[in-house]
Amino acid sequence: MSSYSALSLAKAIAAFLRACRLDVETAKPGNVSVSYPGHGMTASQFIASADAAANALFAPGAPVGTRILDAVSRTRETAGCNTNLGIVLLVAPLAAALEIHGADICVTAWRTATERVLATLDLDDTRAAYRAIALANPGGLGDAPEQSVHDLPSVDLRTAMTLAAGRDSIARQYANGFRDVFERGLETVRRAQRSGHSQPATAITLDVFLAFLSGWPDSHIVRKHGLPVAQSVTHEARKRQDAIHRALARGGLANELLALGQWDAELKAQGINPGTSADLTVATMFVAGVADGIPDET
């Protein structure tokens, strides 16, 4: 039974839209942003996609698969391309779990509720999610020896995602109960908030993005360019994040931000887009926005 009130539903949607705005307001290397378009896409397409997907993702009582398919369908009608499949796949079960308790839920209860949602995913959810993935048509995603999205599924959605968890970080969240979001991602947000250094929301978002990008090879880069390239980006992200943390302790980020801008240009010139790290960042900022609140100033 849904415990959403109109107020808590509005709070959840607002947190989602805020996270999506931060995604493009933050100049994340290799990703599309307000300041730096790329990969044939602009920030306005991402904002329009978030607006189009929101009501589907937070439709009270809707199954997870239905949320995914409806959100992707509305996005395609609005943006005409795949701007947010990863975000939709991540947010749909989180939104369904949030509905169990309402938007005043604590993080521990949210994780427990998410596990309950994942445990009850069924074959209909798989069918709907596969249709959504095929509609979004992301290069390489869903191509697998078992339970390919091009075939009729025979297992529930969590099982299908678990089969892909070793090669896709979004699928891994379904397998491990969104551990990376609730632990690595949210802890990065909270560490920044505890640091004693005043940071705008875009700086926190960048820190979360670099935490994911430096933690393991980005799935999207692996699919597009291979593991060695993805590993080199991960290694570089680790160095860049360490440099930013040192500069922040000294009280100045100008040189590091300029260097990030140069790295962004280099990545885009090679067609390298750390899209999975960005999707995990949006999911994290959504969770943080509901649980802790994110300051409006950027």
Secondary structure of residue 151 in the 3-state scheme:
coil
- Within 121-274, residue ranges assigned H as helices are 123-136, 157-164, 169-176, 179, 186-194, 201-215, 219-225, 227-250, 254-269
* 222 Cα distance to chain centroid: 17
Distance from C-alpha of 109 to C-alpha of 111, rounded to nearest angstrom: 5
> How big is the CA angle at 102 (ends 97 and 103), to the nearest 5 degrees?
95
User: What contacts 69, CB < 8 A, 6 or more positions away?
Assistant: 128, 129, 131, 132, 135
* 288 Cα distance to chain centroid: 12
C-alpha torsion sign, points 229, 231, 232, 236: positive
Per-residue pLDDT of the chain (298 residues; tens, 9 = 90+): 466 677 789 999 999 999 999 999 999 999 999 988 888 889 999 999 999 999 999 999 999 999 999 999 999 999 888 899 999 999 999 999 998 887 778 999 999 999 999 999 999 999 999 999 999 876 545 555 555 666 678 899 999 999 999 999 999 999 999 999 999 999 999 988 777 666 889 999 999 999 999 999 999 999 999 999 999 999 999 999 999 988 887 777 778 888 999 999 999 999 999 999 999 999 999 999 999 887 665 4
- Beta bridge partners, 38, equal 41
Please report the pLDDT score of residue 139 as a whole number: 54
Please report the pLDDT score of residue 258 as a whole number: 87
Distance from C-alpha of 100 to C-alpha of 109, rounded to nearest angstrom: 10
Domain ranges of the chain: 6-291
DSSP assignment of 30-70: TS--SS--BTTB-HHHHHHHHHHHHHHHT-TT--HHHHHHH
**pTM for the whole thing?**
0.92
CATH number of 6-291: 1.10.4200.10
Please report the pLDDT score of residue 104 as a whole number: 79
Please report the pLDDT score of residue 298 as a whole number: 42
